[in-house]
Amino acid sequence: MGELPTDNIRSIDDARPLRIALLAAPMVPVPPIAYGGTERVVAALAVELTRRGHDVTVFASGDSRVDARLEPIVPRSLWRDGFRGDVSAHMIKAAARCWSSADRFDIVHSHLEAFGFPLARHAPVPVLSTLHGRLDAEGMPDLLEEFSDIPLVAISESQRRWAPDAHWVGVVHNGLPLESMPFGPQAEGYLLLVGRIAHEKGVGEAIELARRTGLPLKVAAKVHDPAEQRLFDDVVAPAFRDGVVEFLGELPPPARDPLFAGASATLMLGAWPEPFGLVAIESLACGTPVVGRRAGALPEIVEHGIDGYLVDDLSEALLAARRLDRLDRRTIRERALRRFSAERMADEYEAIYRRLVGDLARERDASREPATIAS
Protein backbone atom coordinates (compact mmCIF):
# COMPACT_ATOMS: atom_id res chain seq x y z
CA MET A 1 0.00 0.00 0.00
CA GLY A 2 1.11 3.57 -0.57
CA GLU A 3 2.11 6.16 1.95
CA LEU A 4 -0.63 8.03 3.76
CA PRO A 5 -0.07 11.81 3.49
CA THR A 6 0.45 12.85 7.10
CA ASP A 7 -0.23 16.53 6.44
CA ASN A 8 -3.89 15.94 5.63
CA ILE A 9 -5.14 13.27 8.02
CA ARG A 10 -8.20 13.94 10.18
CA SER A 11 -10.66 11.69 12.00
CA ILE A 12 -14.27 12.56 12.71
CA ASP A 13 -13.27 14.08 16.07
CA ASP A 14 -9.73 15.46 15.97
CA ALA A 15 -10.00 17.40 19.22
CA ARG A 16 -10.66 14.61 21.73
CA PRO A 17 -7.66 13.62 23.85
CA LEU A 18 -6.50 10.09 23.14
CA ARG A 19 -5.38 7.33 25.49
CA ILE A 20 -2.00 6.44 24.01
CA ALA A 21 0.42 3.66 24.95
CA LEU A 22 4.05 4.06 23.88
CA LEU A 23 5.92 0.75 23.94
CA ALA A 24 9.73 0.83 24.26
CA ALA A 25 12.39 -1.85 24.63
CA PRO A 26 13.74 -2.34 28.18
CA MET A 27 17.49 -2.28 27.45
CA VAL A 28 17.98 1.37 28.47
CA PRO A 29 15.70 3.76 30.36
CA VAL A 30 13.43 6.30 28.70
CA PRO A 31 15.06 8.73 28.21
CA PRO A 32 18.47 7.04 28.19
CA ILE A 33 21.23 8.31 30.44
CA ALA A 34 23.80 7.98 27.66
CA TYR A 35 23.58 5.74 24.56
CA GLY A 36 20.13 5.08 23.16
CA GLY A 37 18.41 6.53 20.12
CA THR A 38 14.93 5.02 19.96
CA GLU A 39 14.34 5.64 23.65
CA ARG A 40 15.12 9.34 23.24
CA VAL A 41 12.55 9.58 20.46
CA VAL A 42 9.97 7.84 22.67
CA ALA A 43 10.73 10.25 25.51
CA ALA A 44 10.36 13.28 23.26
CA LEU A 45 7.08 11.95 21.90
CA ALA A 46 5.75 11.25 25.40
CA VAL A 47 6.55 14.78 26.55
CA GLU A 48 4.96 16.45 23.53
CA LEU A 49 1.82 14.27 23.49
CA THR A 50 1.30 14.81 27.22
CA ARG A 51 1.71 18.57 26.74
CA ARG A 52 -1.11 18.41 24.20
CA GLY A 53 -3.47 16.88 26.74
CA HIS A 54 -3.35 13.22 25.72
CA ASP A 55 -3.35 10.48 28.37
CA VAL A 56 0.03 8.82 27.72
CA THR A 57 1.37 5.61 29.23
CA VAL A 58 4.93 4.48 28.52
CA PHE A 59 5.83 0.79 28.77
CA ALA A 60 9.57 0.77 29.49
CA SER A 61 12.12 -0.18 32.15
CA GLY A 62 11.25 0.76 35.72
CA ASP A 63 14.13 3.24 36.02
CA SER A 64 12.69 5.38 33.23
CA ARG A 65 11.76 8.98 34.05
CA VAL A 66 8.95 9.89 31.71
CA ASP A 67 6.60 12.84 31.65
CA ALA A 68 3.68 10.41 31.57
CA ARG A 69 2.37 7.29 33.33
CA LEU A 70 5.01 4.54 33.51
CA GLU A 71 4.29 0.80 33.24
CA PRO A 72 7.53 -1.06 34.11
CA ILE A 73 8.50 -4.00 31.92
CA VAL A 74 11.51 -4.83 34.12
CA PRO A 75 12.56 -3.12 37.38
CA ARG A 76 15.79 -1.71 35.91
CA SER A 77 17.06 -1.32 32.37
CA LEU A 78 18.88 -4.44 31.23
CA TRP A 79 22.14 -2.86 30.07
CA ARG A 80 22.33 -0.72 33.19
CA ASP A 81 22.11 -3.95 35.21
CA GLY A 82 24.96 -5.49 33.24
CA PHE A 83 22.90 -7.74 30.97
CA ARG A 84 24.74 -8.45 27.70
CA GLY A 85 22.89 -11.44 26.25
CA ASP A 86 20.13 -11.98 23.72
CA VAL A 87 17.29 -9.55 24.48
CA SER A 88 14.61 -11.43 22.49
CA ALA A 89 12.83 -12.83 25.54
CA HIS A 90 12.60 -9.40 27.11
CA MET A 91 11.25 -7.87 23.90
CA ILE A 92 8.53 -10.54 23.78
CA LYS A 93 7.78 -9.83 27.44
CA ALA A 94 7.40 -6.13 26.64
CA ALA A 95 4.86 -6.86 23.90
CA ALA A 96 2.98 -9.29 26.15
CA ARG A 97 2.83 -6.82 29.03
CA CYS A 98 1.20 -4.21 26.81
CA TRP A 99 -1.04 -6.76 25.09
CA SER A 100 -2.59 -7.80 28.41
CA SER A 101 -3.96 -4.30 28.98
CA ALA A 102 -4.30 -2.99 25.43
CA ASP A 103 -8.04 -2.39 25.80
CA ARG A 104 -7.25 0.48 28.20
CA PHE A 105 -6.02 2.56 25.26
CA ASP A 106 -7.32 4.09 22.07
CA ILE A 107 -4.04 3.29 20.29
CA VAL A 108 -0.72 1.58 20.98
CA HIS A 109 2.48 2.86 19.39
CA SER A 110 5.12 0.13 19.33
CA HIS A 111 8.86 0.75 19.03
CA LEU A 112 9.78 -2.94 19.42
CA GLU A 113 10.66 -3.63 15.79
CA ALA A 114 9.22 -6.99 14.66
CA PHE A 115 8.61 -8.15 18.24
CA GLY A 116 5.47 -6.02 18.23
CA PHE A 117 4.03 -7.46 15.02
CA PRO A 118 1.79 -10.17 16.61
CA LEU A 119 0.48 -7.56 19.04
CA ALA A 120 -0.33 -5.28 16.09
CA ARG A 121 -2.28 -8.03 14.33
CA HIS A 122 -4.30 -9.31 17.29
CA ALA A 123 -4.76 -6.46 19.79
CA PRO A 124 -8.29 -5.08 20.24
CA VAL A 125 -7.13 -1.54 19.41
CA PRO A 126 -4.98 -0.15 16.58
CA VAL A 127 -1.25 -0.76 17.02
CA LEU A 128 1.10 1.43 15.02
CA SER A 129 4.66 0.14 14.64
CA THR A 130 7.54 2.51 13.95
CA LEU A 131 10.54 0.62 12.63
CA HIS A 132 13.94 1.98 13.66
CA GLY A 133 16.25 -0.64 12.19
CA ARG A 134 17.19 -2.04 8.81
CA LEU A 135 14.53 -3.89 6.81
CA ASP A 136 16.82 -5.95 4.58
CA ALA A 137 18.31 -8.40 7.07
CA GLU A 138 17.66 -10.81 9.95
CA GLY A 139 14.42 -12.15 8.52
CA MET A 140 12.70 -8.77 8.24
CA PRO A 141 11.74 -9.16 4.54
CA ASP A 142 9.85 -12.37 5.35
CA LEU A 143 8.22 -10.85 8.43
CA LEU A 144 7.09 -7.76 6.54
CA GLU A 145 5.56 -10.01 3.89
CA GLU A 146 3.78 -12.12 6.51
CA PHE A 147 2.47 -9.10 8.44
CA SER A 148 1.44 -7.07 5.42
CA ASP A 149 -1.81 -6.09 7.14
CA ILE A 150 -0.40 -4.13 10.09
CA PRO A 151 0.15 -0.35 9.91
CA LEU A 152 3.78 0.72 9.79
CA VAL A 153 5.75 3.97 9.88
CA ALA A 154 9.24 4.31 8.45
CA ILE A 155 11.71 6.85 9.78
CA SER A 156 13.10 7.61 6.32
CA GLU A 157 12.37 7.02 2.66
CA SER A 158 15.67 5.14 2.48
CA GLN A 159 14.51 2.69 5.13
CA ARG A 160 11.14 2.14 3.47
CA ARG A 161 12.42 1.44 -0.03
CA TRP A 162 13.11 -2.26 0.62
CA ALA A 163 9.49 -3.01 1.55
CA PRO A 164 7.37 -1.10 -0.96
CA ASP A 165 4.37 -3.43 -0.54
CA ALA A 166 4.13 -3.21 3.25
CA HIS A 167 1.22 -1.33 4.83
CA TRP A 168 2.98 2.00 5.22
CA VAL A 169 0.81 4.72 6.72
CA GLY A 170 3.56 7.34 6.78
CA VAL A 171 7.22 8.25 6.76
CA VAL A 172 7.99 10.32 9.86
CA HIS A 173 11.50 11.66 10.35
CA ASN A 174 12.58 11.52 13.97
CA GLY A 175 12.44 14.67 16.05
CA LEU A 176 13.96 15.76 19.34
CA PRO A 177 13.73 18.79 21.66
CA LEU A 178 16.75 20.36 20.00
CA GLU A 179 16.25 23.95 21.21
CA SER A 180 18.35 23.27 24.31
CA MET A 181 21.34 22.06 22.30
CA PRO A 182 24.25 24.51 22.71
CA PHE A 183 25.13 26.59 19.66
CA GLY A 184 28.77 26.65 18.62
CA PRO A 185 29.38 29.75 16.47
CA GLN A 186 33.09 28.97 16.21
CA ALA A 187 34.71 25.58 15.73
CA GLU A 188 37.47 24.60 18.14
CA GLY A 189 39.55 22.63 15.67
CA TYR A 190 38.72 18.97 16.24
CA LEU A 191 36.64 16.25 14.60
CA LEU A 192 34.00 14.28 16.49
CA LEU A 193 32.64 10.73 16.41
CA VAL A 194 29.62 9.88 18.57
CA GLY A 195 27.83 6.55 18.97
CA ARG A 196 29.38 3.14 19.40
CA ILE A 197 32.64 1.47 18.45
CA ALA A 198 31.52 -0.54 15.43
CA HIS A 199 32.79 -0.99 11.87
CA GLU A 200 29.48 0.19 10.43
CA LYS A 201 29.86 3.51 12.26
CA GLY A 202 32.98 4.34 10.28
CA VAL A 203 35.40 4.28 13.21
CA GLY A 204 38.42 3.29 11.12
CA GLU A 205 37.58 5.83 8.41
CA ALA A 206 37.21 8.61 10.99
CA ILE A 207 40.61 7.82 12.49
CA GLU A 208 42.24 7.79 9.06
CA LEU A 209 40.66 11.13 8.18
CA ALA A 210 42.00 12.60 11.42
CA ARG A 211 45.47 11.38 10.49
CA ARG A 212 45.26 12.91 7.02
CA THR A 213 43.89 16.28 8.16
CA GLY A 214 46.06 16.61 11.24
CA LEU A 215 42.95 17.41 13.27
CA PRO A 216 42.48 15.51 16.53
CA LEU A 217 39.50 13.17 16.72
CA LYS A 218 37.38 13.08 19.86
CA VAL A 219 35.40 9.86 20.27
CA ALA A 220 32.38 9.67 22.59
CA ALA A 221 31.16 6.12 22.12
CA LYS A 222 30.09 3.01 23.96
CA VAL A 223 32.08 -0.23 24.08
CA HIS A 224 29.74 -2.97 25.32
CA ASP A 225 29.75 -6.20 23.36
CA PRO A 226 32.78 -8.34 22.44
CA ALA A 227 32.89 -7.13 18.82
CA GLU A 228 33.01 -3.52 19.98
CA GLN A 229 35.79 -4.35 22.44
CA ARG A 230 37.86 -6.08 19.74
CA LEU A 231 37.54 -3.10 17.40
CA PHE A 232 38.53 -0.78 20.22
CA ASP A 233 41.61 -2.87 21.01
CA ASP A 234 42.66 -3.25 17.37
CA VAL A 235 41.89 0.21 15.94
CA VAL A 236 41.03 2.82 18.57
CA ALA A 237 43.60 2.04 21.25
CA PRO A 238 46.63 2.33 18.90
CA ALA A 239 45.34 5.69 17.62
CA PHE A 240 44.83 6.81 21.20
CA ARG A 241 48.44 5.94 22.03
CA ASP A 242 49.59 7.84 18.93
CA GLY A 243 47.74 10.96 20.05
CA VAL A 244 45.34 10.91 17.08
CA VAL A 245 42.29 10.00 19.17
CA GLU A 246 40.98 11.29 22.45
CA PHE A 247 38.66 8.53 23.66
CA LEU A 248 36.01 9.82 26.07
CA GLY A 249 33.78 6.76 26.41
CA GLU A 250 30.00 6.80 26.65
CA LEU A 251 28.88 10.27 27.77
CA PRO A 252 25.54 11.61 29.02
CA PRO A 253 24.07 14.55 27.08
CA PRO A 254 25.35 17.30 29.44
CA ALA A 255 28.92 16.19 28.77
CA ARG A 256 28.42 15.18 25.14
CA ASP A 257 26.46 18.14 23.75
CA PRO A 258 29.22 20.76 24.24
CA LEU A 259 31.47 18.45 22.21
CA PHE A 260 29.03 18.74 19.31
CA ALA A 261 29.02 22.53 19.61
CA GLY A 262 32.81 22.83 19.54
CA ALA A 263 33.59 20.36 16.75
CA SER A 264 34.66 21.42 13.28
CA ALA A 265 32.55 18.54 11.98
CA THR A 266 30.81 15.40 13.17
CA LEU A 267 31.90 12.35 11.17
CA MET A 268 29.50 9.65 9.98
CA LEU A 269 31.68 7.84 7.46
CA GLY A 270 30.42 4.28 7.80
CA ALA A 271 29.07 2.57 4.70
CA TRP A 272 26.23 1.09 6.76
CA PRO A 273 22.92 2.64 5.59
CA GLU A 274 21.63 4.40 8.69
CA PRO A 275 17.81 4.17 8.78
CA PHE A 276 17.89 7.69 10.24
CA GLY A 277 20.75 9.13 12.32
CA LEU A 278 19.97 11.08 15.50
CA VAL A 279 23.64 12.01 15.85
CA ALA A 280 23.32 13.97 12.61
CA ILE A 281 20.38 16.12 13.72
CA GLU A 282 21.94 16.77 17.14
CA SER A 283 25.17 17.92 15.52
CA LEU A 284 23.30 20.18 13.09
CA ALA A 285 21.26 21.65 15.96
CA CYS A 286 24.54 22.82 17.49
CA GLY A 287 25.51 24.44 14.19
CA THR A 288 28.14 21.80 13.52
CA PRO A 289 28.23 20.35 10.01
CA VAL A 290 28.14 16.64 9.29
CA VAL A 291 30.60 14.96 6.97
CA GLY A 292 28.96 11.66 6.19
CA ARG A 293 28.82 8.81 3.73
CA ARG A 294 26.19 9.28 1.03
CA ALA A 295 24.22 6.29 2.29
CA GLY A 296 21.01 5.47 4.10
CA ALA A 297 18.96 8.40 5.37
CA LEU A 298 21.81 10.92 5.54
CA PRO A 299 20.88 12.48 2.17
CA GLU A 300 17.43 13.18 3.67
CA ILE A 301 19.04 14.96 6.65
CA VAL A 302 22.14 16.64 5.24
CA GLU A 303 21.85 18.94 2.26
CA HIS A 304 25.24 18.81 0.58
CA GLY A 305 27.02 22.16 0.75
CA ILE A 306 24.48 23.58 3.24
CA ASP A 307 24.38 21.33 6.33
CA GLY A 308 27.67 19.59 5.63
CA TYR A 309 29.03 17.32 2.93
CA LEU A 310 28.01 13.90 1.60
CA VAL A 311 30.98 11.82 0.48
CA ASP A 312 31.69 8.48 -1.16
CA ASP A 313 35.21 7.81 0.10
CA LEU A 314 38.06 9.17 2.18
CA SER A 315 39.40 11.30 -0.65
CA GLU A 316 36.11 13.20 -0.80
CA ALA A 317 35.99 13.36 3.00
CA LEU A 318 39.41 15.04 2.97
CA LEU A 319 38.17 17.64 0.49
CA ALA A 320 35.06 18.16 2.63
CA ALA A 321 37.22 18.77 5.70
CA ARG A 322 39.09 21.50 3.80
CA ARG A 323 35.81 23.23 2.89
CA LEU A 324 34.15 23.34 6.29
CA ASP A 325 34.77 27.07 6.61
CA ARG A 326 32.45 27.66 3.64
CA LEU A 327 29.42 26.60 5.69
CA ASP A 328 27.30 28.93 7.85
CA ARG A 329 26.91 27.36 11.29
CA ARG A 330 23.95 29.56 12.25
CA THR A 331 22.05 28.54 9.12
CA ILE A 332 22.81 24.90 9.88
CA ARG A 333 21.30 25.25 13.35
CA GLU A 334 18.20 27.14 12.22
CA ARG A 335 17.41 24.56 9.56
CA ALA A 336 17.80 21.67 12.02
CA LEU A 337 15.51 23.24 14.63
CA ARG A 338 12.84 23.76 12.01
CA ARG A 339 13.06 20.40 10.26
CA PHE A 340 13.62 17.99 13.17
CA SER A 341 11.62 19.37 16.10
CA ALA A 342 9.69 17.16 18.51
CA GLU A 343 6.60 19.25 17.72
CA ARG A 344 6.75 18.44 14.01
CA MET A 345 7.22 14.73 14.76
CA ALA A 346 4.29 14.73 17.20
CA ASP A 347 2.08 16.56 14.67
CA GLU A 348 2.62 13.81 12.13
CA TYR A 349 2.15 10.95 14.60
CA GLU A 350 -0.95 12.52 16.13
CA ALA A 351 -2.52 12.78 12.69
CA ILE A 352 -1.81 9.10 12.01
CA TYR A 353 -3.19 8.05 15.41
CA ARG A 354 -6.46 9.84 14.75
CA ARG A 355 -6.79 8.31 11.31
CA LEU A 356 -6.27 4.78 12.64
CA VAL A 357 -8.63 5.29 15.57
CA GLY A 358 -11.25 6.77 13.26
CA ASP A 359 -10.90 3.91 10.78
CA LEU A 360 -11.50 1.33 13.53
CA ALA A 361 -14.53 3.23 14.82
CA ARG A 362 -16.03 3.31 11.33
CA GLU A 363 -15.38 -0.42 10.85
CA ARG A 364 -17.13 -1.23 14.13
CA ASP A 365 -20.07 1.02 13.29
CA ALA A 366 -20.42 -0.67 9.90
CA SER A 367 -20.40 -4.13 11.50
CA ARG A 368 -23.29 -3.11 13.77
CA GLU A 369 -25.51 -1.89 10.91
CA PRO A 370 -28.40 -4.25 10.12
CA ALA A 371 -28.06 -6.19 6.90
CA THR A 372 -30.11 -4.89 3.98
CA ILE A 373 -32.77 -7.35 2.80
CA ALA A 374 -32.97 -7.52 -0.97
CA SER A 375 -36.46 -7.04 -2.43
pLDDT, tens digit (0-9, with 9 covering 90-100), for 253-284: 899 999 999 999 999 999 889 999 999 999 99
Is 35 a residue whose pLDDT tops 60? yes
Residue 315: inside a domain, yes or no? Answer: yes
Is 7 a residue whose pLDDT tops 60? no
**Residue 8, pLDDT score:** 36
CB of 300 closer than 8 Å to CB of 288: no
**Residue 81, pLDDT score:** 78
**Residue 370, pLDDT score:** 63
Confidence grade of residue 4 (pLDDT, cut at 50, 70, 90)? very low
**Same domain, yes or no, for 319 and 360?**
no
**Same domain, yes or no, for 281 and 168?**
no
User: What type of residue is 276?
Assistant: F
**Same domain, yes or no, for 87 and 185?**
no
- SS3 sequence of the chain: CCCCCHHHCCCCCCCCCCEEEEECCCCCCCCCCCCCCHHHHHHHHHHHHHHCCCEEEEEECCCCCCCCEEEECCCCCCCCCCCCCCCHHHHHHHHHHHHCCHHHCCEEEECCHHHHHHHHHHCCCCEEEEECCCCCCCCHHHHHHHCCCCCEEECCHHHHCCCCCCCEEEECCCCECHHHCCCCCCCCCCEEEEEECCHHHCHHHHHHHHHHHCCCEEEEEECCCHHHHHHHHHHHHHHHHCCCEEECCCCCHHHHHHHHHHCCEEEECCCCCCCCCHHHHHHHHCCCCEEEECCCCHHHHCCECCCEEEECCHHHHHHHHHCHHHCCHHHHHHHHHHHCEHHHHHHHHHHHHHHHHHHHHHHHHHHHCCCCCCC
Confidence grade of residue 2 (pLDDT, cut at 50, 70, 90)? very low
**Same domain, yes or no, for 219 and 167?**
no
**Same domain, yes or no, for 209 and 319?**
yes
Is 10 a residue whose pLDDT tops 70? no
Confidence grade of residue 11 (pLDDT, cut at 50, 70, 90)? very low
**Same domain, yes or no, for 182 and 238?**
yes
Which pTM does this prediction carry? 0.89
**Same domain, yes or no, for 40 and 60?**
yes
**Same domain, yes or no, for 127 and 31?**
yes
pLDDT: which is higher, 177 or 250? 177
**Residue 355, pLDDT score:** 97
Residue 12: inside a domain, yes or no? Answer: yes
Residue 305: inside a domain, yes or no? Answer: yes
Residue 1: inside a domain, yes or no? Answer: no
Residue 150: inside a domain, yes or no? Answer: yes
Confidence grade of residue 32 (pLDDT, cut at 50, 70, 90)? confident
**Residue 14, pLDDT score:** 66
**Residue 222, pLDDT score:** 87
Task: List CB contacts of 221: < 8 A, sequence separation 6 or more.
Answer: 193, 194, 195, 196, 197, 201, 203, 247, 249, 250
Is 299 a residue whose pLDDT tops 50? yes
Residue 120: inside a domain, yes or no? Answer: yes
**Residue 226, pLDDT score:** 87
**Same domain, yes or no, for 306 and 267?**
yes
CA-CA distances (angstroms) from residue 326 to 188, 213, 214, 217? 16, 17, 19, 21
| pLDDT > 90 fraction of the chain, expressed in percent and rounded | 82
**Same domain, yes or no, for 32 and 167?**
yes
pLDDT: which is higher, 13 or 195? 195
Total of domains in the chain: 2
**Residue 9, pLDDT score:** 37
Residue 90: inside a domain, yes or no? Answer: yes
Residue 374: inside a domain, yes or no? Answer: no
CB of 131 closer than 8 Å to CB of 147: no
Q: Lowest mean pLDDT of 12-26, 48-62, 91-105, 199-213, name the range.
A: 12-26
**Residue 83, pLDDT score:** 80
Q: Report d(CA 88, CA 28) in Å as an integer.
A: 15
pLDDT, tens digit (0-9, with 9 covering 90-100), for 123-174: 999 999 999 999 998 899 999 999 999 999 999 999 999 999 999 999 999 9
**Residue 225, pLDDT score:** 81
**Residue 13, pLDDT score:** 56
CB of 358 closer than 8 Å to CB of 133: no
Question: What integer is the mean pLDDT of 186-193?
Answer: 97
CATH code of the domain in which 240 resides = 3.40.50.2000
**Same domain, yes or no, for 209 and 112?**
no
Question: What integer is the mean pLDDT of 43-55?
Answer: 97
Confidence grade of residue 85 (pLDDT, cut at 50, 70, 90)? confident
Question: What integer is the mean pLDDT of 359-369?
Answer: 81
**Residue 372, pLDDT score:** 53
**Same domain, yes or no, for 69 and 171?**
yes
Domain that holds residue 188: 178-337
Confidence grade of residue 12 (pLDDT, cut at 50, 70, 90)? very low
**Mean pLDDT over each residue of the chain, to the nearest integer:** 92
